Amino acid sequence: NICNLAQVRGAAGPGAALQLLTFDGDQTLYPDRATLGSDAPLVPLLLELLTRGVALALVTAVGFDEAAPYEARLSGLLAALTAASAPEALCSRVFVVGGQCNYLARCRAEGGVATLYMVPPSEWRLPEMERWRPQQLQRLLDVAQRALLDGAARMHMADKVKLVRKERAVGVLYEAEKHRTELHRTTTLMLDELAVHARQAVREEQRTNAALRSMPFCAFNGGRDVFVDVGSKDLGIASLQRIVGATPQSTLHMGDQFTQTGNDLLARRACGTLWVDSPEETAVLLRYMLRMRAKG
């Protein structure tokens, strides 16, 4: 908590100019496997930050190339913007970065309704991201997929996980409900081990494969799944900083996954971070942030 408050004072206190605030989704903006509803206490706080000129972004591992799934996750905030007649000045400050850094949606006002639209990659991706080649991406994912399946077999989990392969990510879902088992501490540790195993396999491939050596990736335990994504959240945040004109010093990222197998950890390369455990703790910090900005 002391570190969190110090970060808030540094970025949003007197003499500071917070420009960009980014969030993880589950257990940060909304409860696990839920969405940001209209009745969420965070909604008026987010709206107040937008009014005070701060750009807001959901930066999530969830990767889609269409806006609808992201609109569902931010439905409460979009509804609040619509109720306020969807002023373009506020709507344009709302973003979603999906797949760590692979997709970008932005808010706009259409006929008085706040909606999201997908921004073409050529308009926002960093130069280094544009240099990634499809064959490199697929090779990295092939290595990660093999490691995930091998690791699951070694830990006798092969019959309890389901493989998911996407354009820029590969992972396994732990199907606890299907097998009528609960997600307990031991399972969490096994998923952590699986994430570490996949990370080590990809890094070993990078040491011997020059084409993959500079390819960033993120291997993480999502709580009920383990994924390896091409790219990481620091690149997504850096892309947003370029769009809104923010610096690392004027940016904060809030999340709950800052352990060695969490996907918020790499955000520290791009800006200051706030480690929270729940949307309620996020609300406490946002209220403190608004008080600091009022003093400034």
Annotated active-site positions, please? 24, 26
Please name which of 231, 237, 228 lies closest in space to residue 269, comparing C-alpha atoms: 237
252 vs 11: CA distance, rounded Å:
7
Tell me how far the alpha carbon of residue 52 is from its chain's centroid. 23
Residue 264 makes CB contacts below 8 A (sequence gap 6+) with 24, 233, 253, 255, 256, 257, 258, 273, 275
DSSP letter string, 105-165: EEEEEETTEEEEEEPPGGGT--HHHHT--HHHHHHHHHHHHHHHHHHHHHTT-GGGEEEEE
Q: Tell me how many degrees the CA angle 74-32-77 measures, rounded to the nearest 5.
A: 15
Amino acid at 32: D
Please name which of 79, 128, 89 lies closest in space to residue 242, comparing C-alpha atoms: 128
CB atoms within 10 A of CB 285: 20
63 vs 229: CA distance, rounded Å:
9
Q: Find out whether 226 and 171 touch, Cβ atoms under 8 Å.
A: yes
User: Rg (Cα) of the chain, in Å, rounded?
Assistant: 19
282 vs 244: CA distance, rounded Å:
23
Q: Find out whether 116 and 71 touch, Cβ atoms under 8 Å.
A: yes
